[in-house]
């Protein structure tokens, strides 16, 4: 670290257990880039000051986590079209006049799906949950050419609101349903993406749905949760004979996508795999 070191950071609350500093500092070290990454706890009412301070300090880029992913948009000088449609930003890149916002959560999910050979294009997809994380995931599935998306949520109204929003951009491809109405989905095998907090540590035995009949619909399941590494949703998928994956690769690849935007480089696959192994070991130790 010297006077020429560029600074990047994560802002949000909480940030104390984030894996992002490990991801980005390892990338910088391995690729020989003079960059340092840290995390700052930023309260809701201090977001404007935080971005203004980052601009004043010439910070190269920022990741944004809860609770700021939507509110950050008003602080931007530019925004990527996909992030604008999603209505949430998790990556800021320094440009003339301030910061441009991107949503690399969507990119991270797409890269994980691609790597696990889970096809979205021209397929019918099931998404569980209509909260903040579901926005980006529903949009990326629509953007990648899903034939139809069944959006299941505990409360129908919230699913309908997100479905109406996505359908206004892509046509009537999102079908909102209450989770209890999953039997309205035609028989078949579907990629299923679990976006709720059900099963997040320490509530390891929770799942958004327990009915074995539902899991007969699953061809491959992706849970965006990565702690625990094997969620109840994943266990139920596997018991029905489906493949199942956690969200650790999504976390990794959204971080890599941000790093690539900041530094205008491409991260090699072998380095991504190395960092994934480090993340897995770190979680086992925690």
247 is in an annotated binding site: yes
> Would you identify the CATH topology of the domain 6-102+249-285?
Rossmann fold (3.40.50)
Q: Is 69 part of the annotated catalytic residue set? A: yes
Residue 284's pLDDT band (boundaries 50, 70, 90)? confident
Average pLDDT over residues 191-202: 93
105 is in an annotated binding site: yes
Average pLDDT over residues 82-94: 94
Q: Which residue has the higher pLDDT, 216 or 202?
A: 216
**CA neighbours closer than 13 Å in the CB half-sphere of residue 178:** 6
Q: Locate the domains of the chain by residue range.
A: 6-102+249-285, 107-246
Identical fold, 6-102+249-285 and 107-246:
yes
Average pLDDT over residues 233-243: 98
**Adjacency order of strands within the sheet including 61-64:** 35-41, 6-12, 61-64, 91-95, 98-102, 78-79
Residue 132's pLDDT band (boundaries 50, 70, 90)? confident
pLDDT at 285: 85
Q: Say if residue 201's pLDDT is above 90.
A: no
Q: Say if residue 131's pLDDT is above 90.
A: no
157 is in an annotated binding site: yes
CA-atom Rg of the chain in angstroms: 19
132 is in an annotated binding site: yes
Could you say which of 41, 44, 69, 161 is catalytic?
69
Spatial separation of the C-alpha atoms in residues 137 and 273, rounded to whole Å: 23
Q: Domain 107-246: state its class.
A: alpha beta
End-to-end, the C-alpha distance of the chain in Å comes to 28
User: pTM value?
Assistant: 0.92
Q: Say if residue 52's pLDDT is above 80.
A: yes
Q: What is the mean pLDDT of the chain?
A: 96
Average pLDDT over residues 258-284: 97
Q: Say if residue 245's pLDDT is above 80.
A: yes
User: How far is the CA of 71 from the CAs of 42, 68, 132, 212, 253, in angstroms?
Assistant: 12, 5, 12, 39, 23
- Tens digit of each residue's pLDDT (9 = 90 or more) over 14-34: 998 899 999 999 999 999 999
142 is in an annotated binding site: no
User: How far is the CA of 4 from the CAs of 31, 35, 40, 58, 59, in angstroms?
Assistant: 16, 9, 21, 12, 12
194 is in an annotated binding site: no
Average pLDDT over residues 79-97: 94
Given a contact cutoff of 8 angstroms between Cβ atoms, the answer to whether 133 and 158 are in contact is no
Residue 180's pLDDT band (boundaries 50, 70, 90)? very high
State whether residue 6 is helix, strand or coil. strand
Q: Say if residue 144's pLDDT is above 80.
A: yes
Q: Say if residue 286's pLDDT is above 80.
A: no
């Amino acid at each position: 670290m010297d006077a020429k070191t560029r600074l990047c950071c994560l802002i949000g609350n909480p940030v104390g257990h984030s894996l992002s500093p490990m991801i980005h500092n390892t990338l910088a070290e391995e690729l020989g880039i003079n960059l340092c990454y840290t995390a700052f706890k930023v309260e809701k009412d201090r977001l404007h000051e935080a971005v203004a301070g980052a601009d004043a300090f010439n910070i190269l880029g920022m990741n944004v986590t809860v609770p700021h992913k939507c509110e950050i948009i008003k602080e931007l000088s530019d925004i990527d079209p996909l992030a604008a449609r999603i209505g949430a930003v998790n990556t800021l890149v320094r440009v003339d006049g301030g910061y441009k916002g991107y949503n690399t959560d969507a990119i991270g999910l797409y890269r994980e799906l691609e790597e696990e050979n889970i096809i979205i294009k021209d397929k019918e997809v099931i998404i569980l949950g209509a909260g903040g994380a579901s926005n980006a995931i529903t949009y990326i599935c629509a953007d990648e050419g899903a034939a139809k998306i069944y959006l299941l949520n505990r409360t129908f109204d919230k699913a309908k609101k997100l479905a109406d929003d996505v359908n206004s951009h892509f046509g009537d491809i999102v079908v909102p349903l209450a989770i209890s109405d999953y039997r309205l989905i035609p028989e078949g095998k579907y990629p299923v993406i679990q976006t709720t907090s059900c099963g997040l540590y320490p509530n390891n035995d929770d799942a958004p749905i327990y009915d074995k009949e539902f899991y007969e619909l699953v061809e491959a399941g992706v849970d965006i949760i990565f702690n625990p590494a094997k969620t109840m949703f994943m266990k139920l998928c596997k018991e029905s004979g489906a493949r199942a994956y956690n969200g650790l690769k999504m976390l990794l690849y959204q971080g890599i996508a941000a790093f690539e935007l900041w530094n205008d480089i491409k991260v090699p696959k072998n380095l991504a795999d190395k960092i994934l192994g480090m993340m897995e070991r770190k979680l086992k130790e925690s």
